[in-house]
Amino acid sequence: KAAADRQAEERAAFSDAELLARYMAGLTLGSLIPLHAPPRIVINDIPRREGDTLAVKYDGAEVRIQMIRIQPGTITFRFNEAEQTIKY
């Protein structure tokens, strides 16, 4: 229960954008799979596509973030109302 309490305190202390950045830090990006439509990218050894929800381990708990957009060179993720785009 201590981990859950600590995580609840952290969520209250940080914005959704700050939390999303922390959650995304645990992702391992692979390569784009160009022959698929819609496009797919390998994340944590699993092919993913736009709209997929990813379970991310953070501080002993599982958090879900959504991959909302794959574009050439970038991927956009969402957590609650926060969105963040990263380059790959």
Amino acid 36: pLDDT: 63
Name the more confident of 17 and 31: 17
Among candidates 86, 77, 88, which has minimal Cα distance to 20? Answer: 77
pLDDT 10s digits, 68-83: 999 888 999 999 999 9
Q: For the residues of 13-65, what is the DSSP string, one character each?
A: HS-HHHHHHHHHTT--EEEEETTSSS-EEEETTEEEETT-EEEEEETTEEEEE
Interatomic CA distance for residues 58 and 35, integer angstroms: 32
pLDDT 10s digits, 6-15: 666 766 778 9
Q: Per-residue confidence at 17, pLDDT binned at 50, 70, 90?
A: very high
Interatomic CA distance for residues 81 and 72, integer angstroms: 24
Amino acid 58: pLDDT: 85
User: Is residue 63 predicted with pLDDT exceeding 70?
Assistant: yes
Neighbours of 21 (CB within 10 A): 16
3 state SS of 3? helix
